[in-house]
Structure 1
């Protein structure tokens, strides 16, 4: 989820807080167990299995795999999205894993291990698709999106450039409490269209009878990252090395296929966009 609280670096997400110390690969200051705090409401990245209540998703599995490479274990904790950045700042958590967009503003607070590309899209109900022959048809319409994310500002920017600049009415942004609420507003007719990551739509269609259709191309493309403390470069390098190893042996690609995220693959593990 591309969140302004993510901007404040808040996941739909996962924070890893170290519990007991242990020397891993001879390094000091590493731990045996990491507490991973998440907001499990953003499939296919992190969410609860409706049948079992178990935490599942791509982010969950990639973090478990990274931890196994480092030689540590993960203890997952449900958290408030708004508290994720402050958890890192106050050392209650060490890494945020939430499908979070890596932005320059957020780098002022945390560093990022880049692990996926994120494509933000407008979408609507398939039954309403004929109302949107092109993206310009969004002008003047009500578009729902999570209010604590980067999306409201991004929608307004797109609207300024494509609607008001052309003398058309601006998009009306409807703030929601997250992606489930966004879809609820759309399904109940309170919104004409909505914005989420393109990566989430195939999963929702798989459980809701192919209900949604993406409108046009992504209007915002960014890298997603695992956030960690700016002064914890040693830990960041461990994350990067572990992810690089998963990419080299094919484990990363296998997880992408499992969660239908092939279009989101990143070319190499990077920190703040740098190899």
Structure 2
């Protein structure tokens, strides 16, 4: 397995091995890999001659310094997990200096308003950081295809918009959410949960599934009120938001349309650990 820490070495390798028709798949991660990440890597290896996985905790997308400090860093274990899939996968695990070259700040992006909803409203500057790092990585790896999980559905839509607006020659693929046996969406942040908290966090997906059923008969406002009350009953949770939005525009659903595609988005804290999830309501 090839592991590169310098972008110059990675690009030299990719230049040497690719031909005009060689497809390169790319899976950008921040490490602490779980089965959801591995499923993205598997999808890439099915459809591309070369798969590159980046492992980089990007400082510019954290608006909370403590969150950045506490984010799990498990490079050795991550490499072991990737090696169980294939020895042919290329890993790019750079330092901050290699990516940002002494200028660790975000570029401002315009995502046609997608950035102002949900996560954007609660994490100022977050999506500028996301756009900055993803664009830099795309320019380094120059992939044919890139794979992202639907757990971060808003991020997926924003990356598609950024790719479109900057005319980047890469196809973005969204892949299904992977869940733990109790329904909790797999996330690197789950590493920080106690066993008790992880069990309690099953409430998130349980409530989302109930909201989906109710959305078939009730208004968006009524469903939001239901979800809010469910978390008010559970003192270990702090609900940051639950919103029902149009999948394409991410604008809040004020009145249901028969042709609309809607999704429920949630962010909650348990033991000061922030978890997000979403569910298609159609």
TM-score by length of 1: 0.34
Higher share in strand: 1
Higher relative contact order (Cα pairs below 8 Å, separated by 6+ residues): 1
